[in-house]
């Protein structure tokens, strides 16, 4: 994890500072955040992550960056409460639950090949049974984008794990 100052604005005897925060994981996942220090309070201005973070992941993110961020700001972490962890919700509005951070990995690896297609089909059918968006369920399970998830669903259909999209006329 690294924290470095982005810029600082001084006005009327006070100062507002923006800091860049970057976390990189061994599996290739990463999180970048822009934190703001103003009047002794630290909050997160922007959070970008690949793959996207769930609300639980955002809570974990706040815990991970709290110490190094406060150290870079020169603030004791016990005296300030980081209430800005929910401000990066734009990327977690996808409704993904259960995408926990775990042992410092962004997401557990999703199996490839025939086993992965079978799991995609299971997620798809379970979401349909619950009345939820099946593509979103596959996105949450795999950690892939919508386009990649649609491609995985199509592969599961081609493998025979899901019914054909349209009935073919003969």
Q: Which residues contact 16 (CB under 8 A, 6 or more apart)?
A: 8, 9, 36, 37, 38
**Residues shown for the chain:** 170
Burial class for 9, CB neighbours closer than 10 Å (0-12, 13-18, 19+): exposed
pLDDT band (50, 70, 90) for residue 124: very high
Long-range contacts made by residues 131-137, C-beta under 8 angstroms, separation at least 24? Answer: 136/94, 136/95, 136/96
| Average per-residue pLDDT for the chain | 75
pTM of the model: 0.42
For residue 117, what are its two tokens?
């297609």
C-alpha distances out from residue 105 to 6, 164, 167, Å: 27, 35, 42
pLDDT band (50, 70, 90) for residue 126: very high
Range in 8-12, 77-81, 122-126, 130-134 the model is least confident about? 77-81
C-alpha distances out from residue 21 to 29, 31, 101, 118, Å: 14, 8, 18, 38
Examine the pLDDT at 77 and tell me if it is beyond 60: no
Q: Which residues of 103-134 are buried (b: 16+ CB within 10 A; e: fewer)?
A: eeebbeeeeeeeebbebbbebbbebeeeeeeb
Q: Match 């009935």 to its residue by tokens.
A: 167
- The full set of domain ranges for the chain reads 2-91, 113-158
pLDDT digits (tens, 9 = 90+) for 42-60: 788 888 888 888 877 777 7
Mean pLDDT across 63-76: 71
Examine the pLDDT at 163 and tell me if it is beyond 80: yes
Q: Match 């991970």 to its residue by tokens.
A: 64
Mean pLDDT across 111-120: 86
pLDDT digits (tens, 9 = 90+) for 17-50: 888 888 887 888 888 888 888 777 778 888 888 8
pLDDT band (50, 70, 90) for residue 113: confident
């Amino acid at each position: 994890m690294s924290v470095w100052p982005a810029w600082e604005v001084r006005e009327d005897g006070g100062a507002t500072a923006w800091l860049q925060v970057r976390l990189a994981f061994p599996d290739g996942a990463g999180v970048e955040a822009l934190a703001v220090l103003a009047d002794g309070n630290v909050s997160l201005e922007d959070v970008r992550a690949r793959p996207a973070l769930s609300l639980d992941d955002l809570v974990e993110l706040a815990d991970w960056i709290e110490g190094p961020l406060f150290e870079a700001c020169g603030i004791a972490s016990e005296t300030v409460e980081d209430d800005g962890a929910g401000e990066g919700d734009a990327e977690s509005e996808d409704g993904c639950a259960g995408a926990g951070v775990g042992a410092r990995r962004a997401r557990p690896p999703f199996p490839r090949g025939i086993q992965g297609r079978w799991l995609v089909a299971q997620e798809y059918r379970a979401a349909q049974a619950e009345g939820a968006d099946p593509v979103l369920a596959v996105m949450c399970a795999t950690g892939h984008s919508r386009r990649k998830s649609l491609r995985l669903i199509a592969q599961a259909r081609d493998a025979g794990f899901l019914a054909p999209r349209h009935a073919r006329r003969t």
